[in-house]
Protein backbone atom coordinates (compact mmCIF):
# COMPACT_ATOMS: atom_id res chain seq x y z
CA UNK A 1 0.00 0.00 0.00
CA UNK A 2 1.42 3.39 -0.88
CA UNK A 3 1.64 6.18 1.67
CA UNK A 4 -0.67 9.13 1.26
CA UNK A 5 1.26 12.22 0.27
CA UNK A 6 1.23 15.32 2.44
CA UNK A 7 1.98 18.95 1.69
CA UNK A 8 4.98 20.97 2.89
CA UNK A 9 2.71 23.03 5.13
CA UNK A 10 1.43 19.92 6.87
CA UNK A 11 5.02 18.73 7.31
CA UNK A 12 6.11 22.03 8.90
CA UNK A 13 3.21 21.91 11.29
CA UNK A 14 4.38 18.55 12.62
CA UNK A 15 8.15 18.95 12.31
CA UNK A 16 8.70 19.65 15.97
CA UNK A 17 6.54 16.69 17.06
CA UNK A 18 8.43 14.57 14.53
CA UNK A 19 11.74 15.42 16.23
CA UNK A 20 10.26 14.65 19.66
CA UNK A 21 8.73 11.43 18.39
CA UNK A 22 5.28 12.61 19.40
CA UNK A 23 3.44 11.60 16.22
CA UNK A 24 1.66 8.48 15.04
CA UNK A 25 3.54 5.79 13.12
CA UNK A 26 1.35 6.56 10.14
CA UNK A 27 2.28 10.27 10.16
CA UNK A 28 5.95 9.42 10.61
CA UNK A 29 5.83 7.25 7.50
CA UNK A 30 4.17 9.97 5.46
CA UNK A 31 6.65 12.57 6.63
CA UNK A 32 9.65 10.35 5.97
CA UNK A 33 8.39 9.75 2.44
CA UNK A 34 8.02 13.52 2.01
CA UNK A 35 11.57 14.25 3.27
CA UNK A 36 12.95 11.86 0.67
CA UNK A 37 11.50 13.91 -2.16
CA UNK A 38 11.52 17.44 -0.80
CA UNK A 39 14.92 18.99 -0.19
CA UNK A 40 13.41 22.16 1.30
CA UNK A 41 11.58 20.32 4.03
CA UNK A 42 14.60 18.12 4.61
CA UNK A 43 16.66 21.30 5.10
CA UNK A 44 14.13 22.63 7.59
CA UNK A 45 14.19 19.32 9.45
CA UNK A 46 18.00 19.20 9.59
CA UNK A 47 18.27 22.82 10.67
CA UNK A 48 15.66 22.45 13.37
CA UNK A 49 17.40 19.35 14.64
CA UNK A 50 20.67 21.32 14.68
CA UNK A 51 19.06 24.01 16.82
CA UNK A 52 17.81 21.46 19.34
CA UNK A 53 21.18 19.70 19.37
CA UNK A 54 23.13 22.93 19.83
CA UNK A 55 21.29 24.18 22.89
CA UNK A 56 20.48 20.86 24.53
CA UNK A 57 23.43 20.55 26.87
CA UNK A 58 21.85 23.01 29.30
CA UNK A 59 24.95 25.18 29.30
CA UNK A 60 23.68 27.96 27.10
CA UNK A 61 23.40 30.29 30.06
CA UNK A 62 26.52 30.57 32.14
CA UNK A 63 25.69 30.97 35.78
CA UNK A 64 26.94 34.33 37.10
CA UNK A 65 30.19 33.88 38.96
CA UNK A 66 29.66 33.50 42.70
CA UNK A 67 25.97 32.71 42.31
CA UNK A 68 26.36 29.64 44.45
CA UNK A 69 28.13 31.42 47.28
CA UNK A 70 25.68 34.28 47.37
CA UNK A 71 22.77 31.85 47.49
CA UNK A 72 24.38 29.90 50.30
CA UNK A 73 24.90 33.09 52.26
CA UNK A 74 21.26 34.11 51.80
CA UNK A 75 20.08 30.76 53.04
CA UNK A 76 22.37 31.01 56.03
CA UNK A 77 20.91 34.41 56.79
CA UNK A 78 17.34 33.14 56.87
CA UNK A 79 15.48 33.81 60.12
Partner 1 sequence: MSMAQSQLRTNEAELIKSVCAGDREAFYELVCPYERMIYATAISVVKNPADAEEVAQEAVLKAFSHLSSFRAESKFSTWILQITYNEAKMRLRKARSHLYESIEEPRPSEDTDYWPKDFADWRPIPSELFERDEVRQAIQNATNSLSRIYREVFILRDVQNLSTKETATILGISEGAVKIRLLRARLQMRDALAPGIDGCGVKGQPYQKVRPW
46 binds partner 1 (CB under 8 A): yes
36 binds partner 1 (CB under 8 A): no
Cα Dmax for the chain: 71
- How far apart CA 67 and CA 58 sit, in angstroms, is 17
Say if residues 14 and 31 touch (Cβ distance below 8 Å): yes
71 binds partner 1 (CB under 8 A): yes
Give the residues lining the site for partner 1 (CB under 8 A).
9, 12-13, 15-17, 19-20, 22, 39-40, 42-44, 46-48, 50-52, 54-58, 60-61, 63-64, 67-68, 70-72, 74-76, 78
Amino acid sequence: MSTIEISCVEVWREISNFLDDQISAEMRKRMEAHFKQCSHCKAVLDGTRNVVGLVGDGKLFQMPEGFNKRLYKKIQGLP
